[in-house]
Amino acid sequence: MKAAVVKETSPDERRVALVPDAVTKLRSAGIEVLVESGAGDRAWLPDAAYADAGASIVDAPDIYRTADVILTVTKPSAEAVSQLRPGQAVIGMLAPLTDPELTVALAARGVTVISLDGLPRTLSRAQPMDALTSQSNVAGYKAVLVAASEFGRFFPLLITAAGTARPARVLVLGTGVAGLQAIGTARRLGAVVSGYDVRPASRDEVTSLGATFVELTSAVSAAGEGGYARELTAEERQAQTEELAGHIARQDVVITTAQVPGRRPPLLVTEDAVKAMAPGSVIVDMGASALGGNVSGSRPSETVVTGNGVTIVGADNLPATVPTAASNAYSRNISALLEYLTADGALAIDTSDEVQAGVVITHDGRVVNQDVARLVSAEPPSKGGVADVGRATD
């Protein structure tokens, strides 16, 4: 089997799907590795390092002509999609629930789509493949550094001959993987940290990191399926944002990470809450997206300063800004998945397996993942079933 690493095409994407160490490992598992020239450059991983590890350095047309499996970090470009052949597989973080059109287009071309974002994360055998966790860890760490560099004061308590600086107050909203990493990082920088989440289970995780858990009188238990949060009702949302506003007004820095799978990120910091913050405060919105984010007025990949002097950073792709660490971790996740899916030198697709049922999105011209099939088809799919999207006859 030939697995190929493509150069990411999105302008701000600096990660690469495999690092040279993984090439050595995959080759010893009998998988030949092709790397598009320059694929690792922006993560400081030159072609020579891949060649030394035993990869063949090739140009993009060779990849699409000869590879069995294409390994990517994010979605392939329209140009790449047009070069993919029936029977080829693409493995990456392809966001099929937020971009079902791409999935349908790839299914129609007979491409097998495998997406790491569908992994059932609570299965212990899936943990080495958990790219959402590895990338959220990177993002949570970097969010704090971004906040600290935008903030006009120190994070720690500093007592010097020139006077005493009080520590920054940092609130983290959404304390899943990224939020907990943000809490740990902000604590290590010396800030006074608090956290809040709608999943009651997160309280102990927050306090065990030395932060305070924010208790709301309007608190609801919104634990959903698979350890994720469910979407709040309109009344719950209103009670939450109103009560949170009082806590937000007292913070120097707010970092938001809240997500609900397959839905637009919940709004946690309203316009009124931003207006109540002091000049010089900083908000980093990791939920920022084209659909809207956790913070009123945030814009993905942009930093805005409000009329009352609050800096809002729309931090939609922080892992790409720590490209070497993020690529190292992602490379371990995607190699583990590739090896898991390989038997006798070829991909062995079997969606009766729980891991595969989550990650295999299309196969043999059809959408085979239940959640994505439900999204793209008016009719709910039959049991074990599929949505037929009309495979192209090329």
Q: Give the contact letters, 190-209, x = binds to ligand NAD (CB under 6 A), - = no.
A: -------xxx--x-------
Least distance from C-beta 326 to ligand NAD, angstroms?
A: 16
Q: Give the contact letters, 154-183, x = binds to ligand NAD (CB under 6 A), - = no.
A: -------------------xxxxxxx----
Rg of the Cα atoms in the chain: 22
Residue 267 binds ligand NAD, judged by CB under 6 A: no
**Which DSSP state fits 256?**
E
DSSP-assigned states of every residue in 130-160: -HHHHHHHHHHHHHHHHHHHHSSS-SS-EEE
Nearest to 335 by CA among 38, 64, 69: 69
Q: Which of 182, 229, 248, 359 binds ligand NAD (CB under 6 A)?
A: 229
Q: Which of 194, 257, 281, 317 binds ligand NAD (CB under 6 A)?
A: 257
Asked whether the beta carbons of 194 and 214 are under 8 A apart, the reply is yes
Q: What CA–CA distances, in Å, run from 385 to 31, 37, 261, 372?
A: 31, 40, 22, 12
Helix (H, G, I), strand (E, B) or coil at 79: helix
Q: Which of 115, 136, 270, 317 binds ligand NAD (CB under 6 A)?
A: 136
Structure tokens at 201: 């289970």
Residue 260 binds ligand NAD, judged by CB under 6 A: yes
In angstroms, the CA 28 to CA 205 distance is 39
How many amino acids of this chain bind ligand NAD (CB under 6 A)?
Answer: 29
Residues 6 or more apart whose CB falls under 8 angstroms from that of 233 comprise none
Closer CB to ligand NAD, 52 or 204, in the complex: 204
Q: Which of 132, 147, 336, 361 binds ligand NAD (CB under 6 A)?
A: 132
- Secondary element (H or E) of residue 311: strand 311-314
Residue 142 binds ligand NAD, judged by CB under 6 A: no
DSSP-assigned states of every residue in 169-185: EEEEE--SHHHHHHHHH
Residue with nearest beta carbon to ligand NAD: 176
Residue 40 binds ligand NAD, judged by CB under 6 A: no
Closer CB to ligand NAD, 88 or 257, in the complex: 257
Nearest 5°: the CA angle 104, 109, 113 is 60
Closer CB to ligand NAD, 150 or 205, in the complex: 205
> Which residues sit at the interface with ligand NAD, rule CB under 6 A?
121-122, 127, 130, 132-133, 136, 173-179, 197-199, 202, 227-229, 232, 257-261, 266, 268
